[in-house]
Amino acid sequence: MIALKGVSREFQVGDETVHALKDIDLEITGGDYVALMGPSGSGKSTLLNVMGCLDRATRGAYLLDGKDVTGLSETELALVRRHRIGFVFQFFHLVPRLDAAGNVELPMVFAGVQRGERRERVAKALDSVGLSHRARHRPNQLSGGERQRVAIARAVVMGPSILLADEPTGNLDTHSGREIVELIERMNANGLTLVVVTHDPAIGRRARKTIAMRDGLIVNGMG
Amino acid sequence: MSPLDLALFALKALRGHRLRSVLSTLGVAIGVASVVLLTGLGEGARIYVTGELATLGSNLLIVLPGKVETSGGLPLIGGVPHDLTLADAEAIRRRVALVTRLAPITVGQATVSCGSLNRHIPVLGTTSDFQEIRRLRVARGEFLPPGEIDRGSPVCVVGTKVQRELFAGANPLGQTLRVGEWRFRVIGVMAPKGESVGFDLDDIVIIPVATAMKVFDQTTLFRVMIEANSYEVLGSVKGQVKEVMIARHGGEEDITLITQDSVLASFNKIFTALTLALAGIAAISLTVAGIGIMNVMLVSVSERTSEIGLMKAVGVTQRQIVLAFLAEASLLSAAGGILGLITAQVLVRLSVQFLPDLPAQVPDWAVMSALFIAVGVGLVFGVWPARRASKLDPIQALARR
Ligand SMILES: Nc1ncnc2c1ncn2[C@@H]1O[C@H](COP(=O)(O)OP(=O)(O)O)[C@@H](O)[C@H]1O
Ligand SMILES: [Mg+2]
């Protein structure tokens, strides 16, 4: 469960202060499916990054499963990301020199998971995204949709409780975009909390909740 | 994560930019090879020169009468020093262990004549051991006969120039030579030797030391030359000689002991310094190699910015990112180190084959330190790029595609 209380995020650009998030209050319960919508520059990515502990709020408190993570050290935040959070990005961010299996394995390598167990979990994760037959393919040998599925397998392989997807279909055609959405929805159905940033109203309608943002503020009453 | 996983991850990353990796490895290899090669040659030169010096008698000890203050201490207080006598020499020979040869020496100038021909030349009184100590060869006849130090017979050995000038080149063996008022039978002629430590050994007459003391009416020896069993025991022999002499001279240390040691030691020092200087020059090329590694790593970091962002997003800690990049840098430099070492060994072998006089050899310390330095170079020059990688802002890093 995610709870933001009075969270602001400001960026200093020269003498100017950009208010990317303004005093955000937000609660997302475990297993929820939330769509984050709004025009470009409204603060969606910033909010997602704060929720994913990739970024820190300038002010306010962030409670993850009831625990305040605002004051955690860099290393502690890294461990939170490692175990509790999965990220999916618009541009996949696969490591080009590693094949699909290698990319899915990466978080486990650095988490110190034993080799044998890694192999099993890679196989299972690739199977869950329907890419067992592409395990030895490099990213440049995969289609966009397949790449995003590898990225999703990588995001869930450490067994996180929250999946944060920033425009996961933004770089895909309608058909593969639809597949990706269905895939992460299936994971949500299995209990994963899902937060998706999207411009697609269709996806917005599918989510259990929609949060509309503008100028760093949440402008609807939380769907 | 396990060190193996770390190494494998680093290795795969290096394979991602093969050409750059190979080039920077070559840089380190050249650096390491030059360090090892130049120290090898320096070491060869040192061994060669000290070896040459050693044949001049590194296990020789020379006893002089009187105390020469070489260290600038207080001048000797007290009376006239005792004579260095034949009895002293005999005592040293009997009481000091590990002395293989001992030659007391006395020197004087005398008019040496044969018939109407005469020359004013140095006359050296010594014993049979002198021949071996100075590595003299006898061309005809024989050297002074071995025997008691204090028994002097009227025989002499002459230098080639003496033979030429006084005997007109004829066979002098068995003939009589006059030294001052004394008569000597010639028993040997020395092979040409030339100048050696202040004496023209070709223009000299050598007679038994006991006889020489009488001829020149001397009470003290000029010096005593002692050859120790080996260079290693020279120190012990020196100590014993000192003890014996102090005991014999009423508790007074009134002799001076000289070894080639100091000469050898200073040559050793000079060549060690030379070797270090060569190593220092070569170390510059290692530094250049290190900068090469740093450059490769910096390029790698900027090229893989988005990968680093991704690593952070999946929970790789800053420390692990530093380690991953350091592993890459040290793999590069270790590979370079090994390659350089092999190259250097091959070149040293070749140099030994073509320049057998110069026994170039790579000292173990150079091998070890070259490897350590190579890896160290990788680590030192890898730290900055690695830290840069670990400090990247993940969001900005991920914004790059
Ligand atoms: N690192 C940054 N430095 C300065 N301004 C930033 C930075 N990141 C985001 N912003 C600004 O914050 C606002 C919100 O950005 P973002 O969260 O990326 O919007 P969205 O994802 O909704 O398009 C924008 O005005 C953006 O320019
Ligand atoms: Mg965005």
Q: What was the pLDDT predicted at B47?
A: 78
Closest-CA distance of chain A to residue B310, Å? 7
Residue A177 Cβ contacting ligand 1 at under 6 Å: no
Inter-chain residue contact A158 with B16, CB threshold 8 Å: no
Average pLDDT of chain B to the nearest whole number:
85
Residue B67 pLDDT more than 80?
no
- Region of poorest pLDDT, from B37-46, B118-127, B232-241: B37-46
B190 and B158 co-located in one domain: yes
Grade residue B168 by pLDDT with cuts at 50, 70 and 90: confident
Quick check: B396 contacting A, CB < 8 Å?
Answer: no
Q: Has residue A67 been placed in a domain?
A: no
Q: What was the pLDDT predicted at B104?
A: 94
The CATH number assigned to the domain holding A149 equals: 3.40.50.300
- Number of Cβ pairs < 8 A linking chain A and chain B: 74
- Pocket test of ligand 1: the residue of A22, A42, A213 to mutate, having most ligand atoms within 8 Å of its CB, is A42
Inter-chain residue contact A81 with B314, CB threshold 8 Å: yes
Q: Which residue of B has its CA nearest to A55?
A: B395
Grade residue B254 by pLDDT with cuts at 50, 70 and 90: confident
**ipTM of the prediction:** 0.94
Closest-CA distance of chain B to residue A75, Å? 6
Output the pTM of the full model.
0.70
Q: Which residue of B has its CA nearest to A75?
A: B317
| Residue at which a domain ends, from B202, B223, B253 | B253
Q: How far is the CA of A49 from the centre of ligand 2 (A)?
A: 10
Quick check: B16 contacting A, CB < 8 Å?
Answer: yes
The count of structural domains within chain A is 1
B218 and B172 co-located in one domain: yes
The count of structural domains within chain B is 2
Q: Has residue A211 been placed in a domain?
A: yes
Residue B72 pLDDT more than 50?
no
Q: Which residue of B has its CA nearest to A112?
A: B1
Residue A50 Cβ contacting ligand 1 at under 6 Å: no
Closest-CA distance of chain A to residue B305, Å? 11
Q: What was the pLDDT predicted at B292?
A: 86
Grade residue B148 by pLDDT with cuts at 50, 70 and 90: confident
Grade residue B78 by pLDDT with cuts at 50, 70 and 90: very low
Residue A102 Cβ contacting ligand 1 at under 6 Å: no
Q: How far is the CA of B394 from the centre of ligand 2 (A)?
A: 14
B33 and B96 co-located in one domain: no
Q: Has residue A37 been placed in a domain?
A: yes
Closest-CA distance of chain A to residue B325, Å? 13
- Region of poorest pLDDT, from A92-96, B54-58, B141-145, B297-301: B54-58
Residues of B with CB below 8 A from A75's CB?
317-319
**Region B155-176 average pLDDT:** 90
| Residue at which a domain ends, from B253, B284, B314 | B253
Grade residue B111 by pLDDT with cuts at 50, 70 and 90: very high
Inter-chain residue contact B12 with A98, CB threshold 8 Å: yes
Quick check: B273 contacting A, CB < 8 Å?
Answer: no
B131 and B206 co-located in one domain: yes
Q: Has residue A42 been placed in a domain?
A: yes
Q: What was the pLDDT predicted at B255?
A: 86
User: What is the 3-state secondary structure of chain A?
Assistant: CEEEEEEEEEEEECCEEEEEEEEEEEEECCCCEEEEECCCCCCHHHHHHHHCCCCCCCEEEEEECCEECCCCCHHHHHHHHHHHEEEECCCCCCCCCCCHHHHHHHHHHHHCCCHHHHHHHHHHHHHHCCCHHHCCCCHHHCCHHHHHHHHHHHHHCCCCCEEEEECCCCCCCHHHHHHHHHHHHHHHHCCCEEEEECCCHHHHHHCCEEEEEECCEECCCCC
Select the residue of B1, B313, B314 nearest A112 (Cβ to Cβ): B1
Quick check: B115 contacting A, CB < 8 Å?
Answer: no
Q: Has residue A164 been placed in a domain?
A: yes
Which atom from ligand 1 is nearest to the alpha carbon of B395? 1
Quick check: B5 contacting A, CB < 8 Å?
Answer: yes
Q: Has residue A64 been placed in a domain?
A: no
| Residue at which a domain ends, from B220, B253, B286 | B253
Residues belonging to chain A with any Cβ–Cβ distance to chain B shorter than 8 Å: 45, 49, 52, 54-55, 74-75, 78-83, 85, 87, 89, 91, 93, 95-98, 102, 106-107, 109-112, 115, 154-155, 158
Q: How far is the CA of A46 from the centre of ligand 2 (A)?
A: 7
Q: What was the pLDDT predicted at B55?
A: 59
What are the pLDDT digits (tens) for A113-160?
Answer: 999 999 999 999 999 999 999 999 999 999 999 999 999 999 999 999
- Pocket test of ligand 1: the residue of B392, B393, B395, B398 to mutate, having most ligand atoms within 8 Å of its CB, is B395
Quick check: B7 contacting A, CB < 8 Å?
Answer: no
Residue B69 pLDDT more than 60?
no
B133 and B88 co-located in one domain: yes
Q: Whose CA is nearest to atom 7 of ligand 1?
A: A11
Residue A170 Cβ contacting ligand 1 at under 6 Å: no
Average pLDDT of chain A to the nearest whole number:
93
Inter-chain residue contact A81 with B12, CB threshold 8 Å: no
The share of chain B scoring above pLDDT 90, in percent, equals 31
Q: Has residue B267 been placed in a domain?
A: no
**Region B98-109 average pLDDT:** 91
Residue B150 pLDDT more than 80?
no
Residues of A with CB below 8 A from B10's CB?
none
Show the domain range for A153: 31-55+73-222
Residue B43 pLDDT more than 90?
no
Q: What was the pLDDT predicted at B265?
A: 74
Q: Has residue A89 been placed in a domain?
A: yes
Q: What was the pLDDT predicted at B196?
A: 56
Residue B184 pLDDT more than 90?
yes
B301 and B221 co-located in one domain: no
Which atom from ligand 1 is nearest to the alpha carbon of A166? 21
Q: Has residue A83 been placed in a domain?
A: yes
Q: Has residue B269 been placed in a domain?
A: no
Show the domain range for B350: 3-52+275-399
Q: What was the pLDDT predicted at A49?
A: 95
Q: Has residue B249 been placed in a domain?
A: yes
Residues of B with CB below 8 A from A49's CB?
395
Q: Whose CA is nearest to atom 5 of ligand 1?
A: A11
Specify the higher pLDDT residue, B60 or A49: A49
Q: How far is the CA of A103 from the centre of ligand 2 (A)?
A: 24
Inter-chain residue contact B315 with A107, CB threshold 8 Å: yes
Average pLDDT of adjacent 10-residue blocks, chain A of 223 residues: 93 93 93 94 95 94 91 94 95 94 96 94 95 95 95 96 95 92 94 94 90 92 49
Residues of A with CB below 8 A from B303's CB?
none
What are the pLDDT digits (tens) for B338-391?
Answer: 999 899 889 888 888 887 777 777 778 778 887 888 888 888 889 999 999 999
